[in-house]
Chain A
Amino acid sequence: DAGVTQSPTHLIKTRGQQVTLRCSPKSGHDTVSWYQQALGQGPQFIFQYYEEEERQRGNFPDRFSGHQFPNYSSELNVNALLLGDSALYLCASSKQGTDTQYFGPGTRLTVL
């Protein structure tokens, strides 16, 4: 049973560029959440997708956007990258109506 997978593993971008991160949920899961984890901090909730709609959003600017596909996989897009966007981006999947979220290994984004 494949767990949550994310790609790419690492990414280096420069300020002002745009980035797209990808996530495939655990088998049987239909809900995907994205979190940002800065070094030495706990993950911060960005947003959650269910039935291809953004259901919840944390305190992140509109530069952060997402998408969920019919196969439940998801993308996180960040525009106009800032140095402060450097972090580990985590995807978590769950089954609608349950609270247990399972995390992927993350994508480490470095903005220079």
Chain B
Amino acid sequence: QKEVEQDPGPLSVPEGAIVSLNCTYSNSAFQYFMWYRQYSRKGPELLMYTYSSGNKEDGRFTAQVDKSSKYISLFIRDSQPSDSATYLCAFCSNDYKLSFGAGTTVTVRA
């Protein structure tokens, strides 16, 4: 079993739709949960960071963590063409190294 599994996609949605992205993990030592956005041929950009179960909201983005089910999600409301990118879930334990999912590519159609 892989340490991190991310829904592969790709996803194509119309502008204004809600985008839902999901990852599962198997390592119980993971304590920090992140979502990065990566535009084509660029480095990943940190979007959301959380360390507790529950929801965290930042503008149009909501990160959801369920530690008991080892499941995290990212929701993008009112999606825009500028949201078209690859989204990577990332996890960290106390060893300070990040473990990433393979990424989900999202296209928002105008």
Contact = CB atoms under 8 A, between A and B. Distances in A.
B100 A103 contact: no
Interface residues of B, number: 24
Given A31-B96, A58-B97, A99-B96, A41 B103 contact: yes
B60 interface: no
A43 B44 contact: yes
Nearest to B33: A99
Interface residues of A, number: 26
A64 to B, nearest CB: 14
Contacts of A58: 97
Interface of B: 4, 6, 32, 34, 36, 41-46, 49, 88, 90, 92, 95-103
Nearest to B4: A42
Contacts of B36: 103
B101 to A, nearest CB: 5
A68 interface: no
Nearest to B43: A103
A102 B34 CA distance: 12
Contact of A102 (B42, B46, B90): B46
B98 A45 contact: yes
A56 B102 contact: no
Given A90-B43, A105-B43, A99 B32 contact: yes
